[in-house]
Amino acid sequence: MEEYAREPCPWRIVDDCGGAFTMGAIGGGIFQAVKGFRNSPSGMNHRMRGSLTAIRTRAPQLGGSFAVWGGLFSMIDCGLVKVRGKEDPWNSITSGAMTGAILAARNGPVAMVGSAAMGGILLALIEGAGILLTRFASSQFPTGPQFAEEPAPMPASSFGDYRQYQ
């Protein structure tokens, strides 16, 4: 598989926003298709029309919410990268928590804390899964040369000899 190349930080925000919108819109589209199908009067014509209407109205909204989440997350992530000067999973977890907090700001401090916890735990799960996957994928390849063996069997005479040539 080709290596996964992410954009540098300012453009990463636009990329993540687009990716989140796509996920939300397509997932929401499928979900709303089923829901609209079921919540329509009986008769295939009605059901198809209800399904299409639900997709047209609800899927972009879900895509939009995902896009806001993704864009805000990526913005905070890039900000943390610039401030801390390194990229590691802690950035993502903190960004997830802060995004959850900001998006629940209208509902008061208690809701913010709860939303932050949810966001942080979600991102921790995602990052943990990513790390496990990387370890699993790399363990499939043969390991490099082992340096732990061979500490001693160097003949002492060769080291003694060189003093003569000083």
Binding site for another protein (CB under 8 A): 2-3, 7, 11, 13-19, 21-22, 25, 52, 56, 59-61, 63-64, 67, 71
Min. distance of Cβ 57 from another protein in angstroms?
10
List the structure tokens of 124.
Answer: 């921790």
Min. distance of Cβ 90 from another protein in angstroms?
25
Q: What are phi and psi of 150, to 5 degrees?
A: 55, 55
Report the residue number, 66 or 91, with the smaller CB distance to another protein: 66
Amino acid at residue number 39: N
Min. distance of Cβ 165 from another protein in angstroms?
47
Nearest-angstrom CA–CA distance, 7 and 78: 11
Min. distance of Cβ 150 from another protein in angstroms?
35
Nearest-angstrom CA–CA distance, 37 and 28: 14
Report the residue number, 28 or 120, with the smaller CB distance to another protein: 28
CA distances from 21 to 39, 46, 99, 134, 143 (A): 25, 29, 16, 26, 40
Min. distance of Cβ 25 from another protein in angstroms?
6
Report the residue number, 25 or 78, with the smaller CB distance to another protein: 25
Report the residue number, 7 or 161, with the smaller CB distance to another protein: 7
Report the residue number, 20 or 120, with the smaller CB distance to another protein: 20
Question: What burial class does residue 28 get, using C-beta atoms within 10 Å of its C-beta: 0-12 exposed, 13-18 middle, 19+ buried?
Answer: buried
Question: Contact at 8 Å (CB) between 77 and 95?
Answer: yes
